[in-house]
Amino acid sequence: MLTIFSCPKSFHGDVGAAQRNAVQSWVRIASGAEIILQGDEEGTAEAAKEFGVKHLPFLKKNEFGTPLVSSILEEAEKNATYEIMCYLNADILLLDDFAKAVKTVYGVLPRSLMVGRRWNLDLSGSIEFEEGWEEALKKQVTRRGKLVPHFFIDYFVFPKGALGPIPPFAIGRPAWDNWIIYRARSLDLPVVDLTRAVTVVHQNHDYSHHPEGWKGAMKGEESRRNIELAGEVAHVHSLLDANYRLTTGGLRHKKPPYHVPFYLYRTLVMQSASHPSLKPIVRFIKRMGDRLSHP
C-alpha cells in the first residue's frame, strides 16, 4: 500500500481550485492509499476533513515562513501507515496509470526512487469528477499539454527511510528536487523514470502566493540558499541521471543519454537561466541527447 503526502499552499483562488482538483484525483486513482496533507496554510485542515484524508499541521519553517523539506519528509515518515512513500506537489493530477506503474516497479525494484516528468496544462476552475474524467483529461493533454524538461520534478516514490537525512531546503524553491535524485544515486538506489508509462499533469498557475511573484520564488534568497545546500551544480541531478525507465514493455535499464559530461550540461542549464544566449546551446545538446538515447 501507498502513503501519498503533500504540503499545499493556501486554498485560495486558482491555486486553491487546482489543489482541490489534485487531492480529489489522488483519492480516486489510489484506492486504499493513505493521503496526508501537511502544514497550517489556510484551508488545509478543512480540505483534509472534506476529502477524508489525514492532516498533519506541524512543520518546521525557515525565517521566511516557508516549510522545510526535511520537516515535511520527517513528519510524513513518522506518521505514515505504509512503507511506500509518495511525495507530490499539491497541484499535480494523477491518473489510474500511476498506481499501476508504482506497483510494477515495486515488484521488481522494491528499494528504488521513482520519478518522472510532468505535463503542463492550462485548466481553470474545478474538474467534474464524473465518469470519463480521465479520458477527457488525457485528450486535453494530447491537444494542449506540454511535457516539461528533465530538470522539473514534481513527485517521488520511495521506501520509508531510504533517503536518510535531508538538508533544510525550502519547499517550492529550486534545486531540492534535483538533489533528491543525486541523493538516491549516491546511495546506490536505482532511479526509475516513469515518464513513458504515466501521465502526470501539472495545473498551470501564477505565483501570487509569493509577495515577489515568480522572480521571488525562483530567484530570491531562499532559492540561492537551496542551491548552496544542494552542493551547487554538481548535485543538481535530473531525469537524465535515472538509470532505469518504465515503458509499456516493462522495466528497462537506461543507458546514459548524452555523450557530453553531465556536469557540463547541468552547468549550461543553470547558467542559461540568467544568460539566455546559452539556451540555443542547451536545446541543441538536448536534441542530440534525445536522438542518442531514443534510437
> For the segment 53-86, what is each residue's pLDDT rounded down to a tens digit?
999 999 999 999 999 999 999 999 999 999 999 9
Query: Helix, strand or coil for residue 262?
Result: helix
Rg (CA), the chain: 18
Say how far apart CA 193 and CA 254 lie, in whole Å. 9
Q: What pTM value is reported for the model?
A: 0.85
Q: What is the pLDDT of residue 213?
A: 45
Q: What is the pLDDT of residue 212?
A: 45
Instruction: Give the residue with greater pLDDT, 230 vs 158.
Output: 158
Write out the CATH class of domain 2-254. alpha beta
Q: What percent of the chain has pLDDT over 90?
A: 66
Q: What percent of the chain has pLDDT over 70?
A: 82
Q: 44-51 and 13-29 helices cross at what angle (nearest 10)?
A: 30
Q: State the number of CA atoms in the 13 A half-sphere of 43 facing the CB.
A: 12
> For the segment 79-126, what is each residue's pLDDT rounded down to a tens digit?
999 999 999 999 999 999 999 999 999 999 999 999 999 999 998 889
H or E segment and range at residue 124: none
Phi and psi at 168, nearest 5°, equal -80, 60
Say how far apart CA 295 and CA 292 lie, in whole Å. 6
Q: State the average pLDDT over residues 246-250.
A: 90
CB 68 within 8 Å of CB 88: no
Confidence of residue 280 (pLDDT cuts 50, 70, 90): confident
Domain ranges of the chain: 2-254, 258-295
User: By C-alpha distance, which of 72, 68, 235, 236 is closest to 168?
Assistant: 68
